[in-house]
């Protein structure tokens, strides 16, 4: 795979050389744009970074539980150049680091792979050139270094990074490889939102450890893969202690990331107070959104405003995941097989995530502004396919999760997956029924479901690389009412997002604009076991 990609790189390089000889200016310009550094395995001496970080994926033993240490895979980081506050480690955790950047900054990340597997890092939610997106064909082997050099073009928001090698993403993330990338910009600065100790990461993951304190992954075999792996213990910021110590009398900004492989949370405070959402994925909202609970799918981020002004020292609040119907259907799946995954925390059950303990009190003067950052939602009438959205159906076929009946091919891209640079498009994502076995014609692509078609359906958190999109519509008309009622107040359609939770039977219309960079990017289900099984495809911007 990496050889193919190398060929592509060389091809582009030759293309540029040719263009410069001909001095065909427009050609040369677009070429230079696409390919600023022709070899990501080397530093570009002409690139002058504001921040230069070395990120090394290593195997390391970490003390997680009492007794024996846990073998994890983790990013070791080192600041080569830049402000020391831009890089923050999380002590005694497999998670991190937290990288803080500003829009407009130039960043260089030297990713070195010291794992016993091939890997590549992807910047989830970031708008970067093709060669810095962490495409699965860009994997490097143990001992190699991949250099990312790009300008931060994204809005203020909570982004993250994780490995993206096809087939092993689930394992690598599960073993510990993930970190937050926080982007700030001028608009955010003007809001005077909480900073420093009042701006906190809240990364939620589920993990299973065995009697020797070692991480257990996919012990349920094929069924775990098909359903997605569920751990039986909730981890907070890469630690098993489900406790956050905050100061009574203060206001906080909590940056939630669901860093779990497949688990979906229905977040709510136990005291019945609503959640105040101020940001989602790649954006700060226009106004705080007050919600009884939030459905947080894998890979999604929300920024929560937490007001502890009226609390006193010694107070406690708890964050829970409330019970919900996952909407999963499946003939033979309904029996014991559905629980082939031997977790003690079934999806959709109610459990505690963590407690906030106010062991101290203090004060700060961060106030929640009534208006945050205005967003100019893309206008559907400007879409080139306004009357004819591109359709992507996510379903099971032949015991395999597919997108429009197709699965992952490293460099393949279908006609319906090819879009034009500088256009706006509407995509319709649908979670339809599939069938269990073979392709005996019981159900083809685009079948509306029903009958055998519904044999197996699961939630799919759908993620598109490269872009931040707006949500135009959630169509739930084909969902079971009881199932929809258990989750319906937990969805957010405002802001710029890069991942949507597509529940069984749901259709979602999104709108996005393809700008600045041509190339091959991926879109996929962010249930990492589904992704690794092949529920991922390329799309091409040309």
Shortest distance in whole angstroms from residue 531 CB to ligand C2O? 7
CA distance between the termini of the chain? 22
What backbone phi and psi angles, to 5 degrees, belong to 17?
-60, -45
| Contact partner, 527, from ligand C2O, Cu ion, none, Cβ < 5-8 Å per class | Cu ion
Q: Is the peptide bond before 97 cis (omega within 30 degrees of 0)?
A: yes
Shortest distance in whole angstroms from residue 188 CB to ligand C2O? 22
Q: Judged by CB under 5 A, does residue 525 bind Cu ion?
A: yes
Strand partners, 170: none
Residues 496 to 525 in contact with ligand C2O, rule: CB under 6 A: 522, 524
Applying CB under 5 A, among 127, 247, 289, 530 the residue interacting with Cu ion is: 530
Q: Which two tokens stand for residue 483?
A: 């199932």
Q: CA separation (Å) from 503 to 332, 393, 432, 488?
A: 20, 12, 9, 11
Applying CB under 6 A, among 100, 164, 460, 507 the residue interacting with ligand C2O is: 164
Q: Strand 199-207 relative to strand 251-258: parallel, antiparallel, unpaired?
A: parallel
| Contact partner, 460, from ligand C2O, Cu ion, none, Cβ < 5-8 Å per class | Cu ion
Per-residue contact track with ligand C2O, 43 to 82, x per CB under 6 A? ----------------------------------------
Nearer to ligand C2O, 311 or 524 (CB): 524
Task: Write a three-state SS string for 309-370.
Answer: CCCCCCCEEEEEECCCCCCCECCHHHCHHHHHCCCCCCCCCCEEEEEEEEEEECCCCCCCCC
| Contact partner, 297, from Cu ion, ligand C2O, none, Cβ < 5-8 Å per class | none
Nearer to ligand C2O, 90 or 522 (CB): 522
Rounded-to-integer distance, Cα 238 and Cα 277, Å: 23
Nearer to ligand C2O, 127 or 524 (CB): 524
| Contact partner, 299, from ligand C2O, Cu ion, none, Cβ < 5-8 Å per class | ligand C2O
By three-state DSSP, how is residue 85 classified? helix
Report which of 35, 214, 30, 227 is spatially closest to residue 132, judged by C-alpha positions: 35
C-beta nearest to ligand C2O: residue:
124
Side-by-side strand order, sheet with 251-258 = 233-236, 199-207, 251-258, 301-307, 275-280, 283-291
Q: Judged by CB under 6 A, does residue 166 bind ligand C2O?
A: no
Q: Judged by CB under 6 A, does residue 124 bind ligand C2O?
A: yes
Q: Which two tokens stand for residue 313?
A: 């020292």
Nearer to Cu ion, 256 or 523 (CB): 523
Q: Judged by CB under 5 A, does residue 460 bind Cu ion?
A: yes
Shortest distance in whole angstroms from residue 138 CB to Cu ion? 14
Contacts with Cu ion, residue ranges (CB under 5 A) = 124, 460, 465, 525, 527, 530
**What is the contact surface with ligand C2O in residues (CB under 6 A)?**
122, 124, 162, 164, 299, 463, 465, 522, 524, 526
């Amino acid at each position: 795979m990496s050889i193919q990609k190398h060929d592509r790189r060389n091809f582009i390089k030759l293309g540029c050389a040719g263009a410069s000889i001909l001095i065909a200016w427009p050609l040369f310009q677009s070429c230079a744009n696409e390919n600023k550094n022709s070899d990501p395995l080397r530093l570009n001496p002409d690139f002058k970074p504001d921040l230069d970080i070395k990120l090394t994926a290593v195997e390391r033993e970490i003390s997680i539980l009492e007794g024996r240490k846990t073998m994890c895979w983790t990013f070791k980081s080192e600041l080569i150049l830049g402000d020391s506050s831009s890089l923050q480690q999380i002590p005694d955790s497999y998670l991190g680091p937290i990288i803080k950047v500003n829009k407009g900054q130039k960043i260089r990340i030297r990713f070195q792979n010291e794992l016993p597997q091939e890997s590549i890092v992807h910047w989830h939610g970031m708008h970067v050139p093709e060669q810095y997106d962490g495409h699965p064909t860009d994997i490097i082997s143990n001992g190699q270094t991949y250099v990312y050099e790009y300008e931060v073009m994204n809005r203020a928001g909570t982004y993250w990074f994780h490995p993206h090698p096809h087939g092993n993403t689930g394992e690598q993330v599960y073993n510990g490889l993930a970190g937050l990338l926080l982007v700030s910009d001028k608009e955010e600065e003007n809001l005077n939102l909480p900073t420093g100790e009042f701006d906190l990461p809240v990364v939620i993951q589920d993990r299973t450890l065995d009697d020797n304190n070692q991480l257990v992954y996919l012990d349920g075999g094929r069924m775990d893969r098909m359903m997605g792996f569920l751990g039986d213990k909730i981890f907070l910021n890469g630690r098993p202690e489900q406790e956050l110590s905050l100061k009574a009398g203060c206001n906080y900004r909590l940056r939630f990331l669901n860093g779990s492989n497949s688990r979906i949370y229905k977040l709510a405070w136990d005291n019945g107070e609503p959640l105040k959402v101020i940001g989602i994925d790649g954006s700060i909202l226009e106004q705080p959104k007050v919600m009884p609970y939030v459905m947080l799918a894998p890979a999604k981020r929300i920024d929560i405003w937490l007001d502890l002004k009226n609390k006193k020292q010694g107070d406690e609040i708890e964050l829970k995941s409330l019970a919900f119907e996952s909407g999963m259907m499946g003939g033979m799946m309904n029996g014991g097989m559905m629980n082939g995954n031997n977790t003690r925390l079934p999806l959709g059950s109610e459990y505690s995530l963590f407690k906030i303990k106010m062991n101290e009190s203090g004060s700060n003067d961060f106030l929640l502004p009534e208006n945050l950052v205005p967003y100019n939602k893309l206008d559907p009438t400007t879409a080139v396919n306004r009357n004819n959205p591109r359709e992507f159906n996510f379903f099971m076929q032949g015991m395999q999760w597919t997108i429009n009946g197709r699965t992952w091919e490293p460099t393949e891209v279908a006609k319906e997956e090819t879009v034009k640079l500088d256009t706006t498009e509407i995509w319709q994502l649908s979670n339809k029924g599939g069938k269990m076995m073979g392709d005996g014609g019981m159900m083809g692509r685009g079948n509306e479901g029903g009958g055998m078609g519904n044999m197996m359906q699961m939630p799919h958190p759908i993620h598109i690389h490269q872009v931040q999109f707006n949500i135009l519509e959630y169509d739930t008309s084909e969902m079971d009412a009881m199932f929809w009622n258990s989750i319906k107040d937990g969805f957010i359609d405002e802001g710029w997002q890069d991942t949507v939770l597509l529940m069984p039977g749901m259709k979602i219309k999104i709108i996005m604009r393809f700008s600045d960079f041509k190339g091959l990017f991926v879109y996929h289900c962010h249930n990492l076991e589904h992704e690794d099984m092949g529920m991922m495809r390329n799309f091409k911007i040309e």
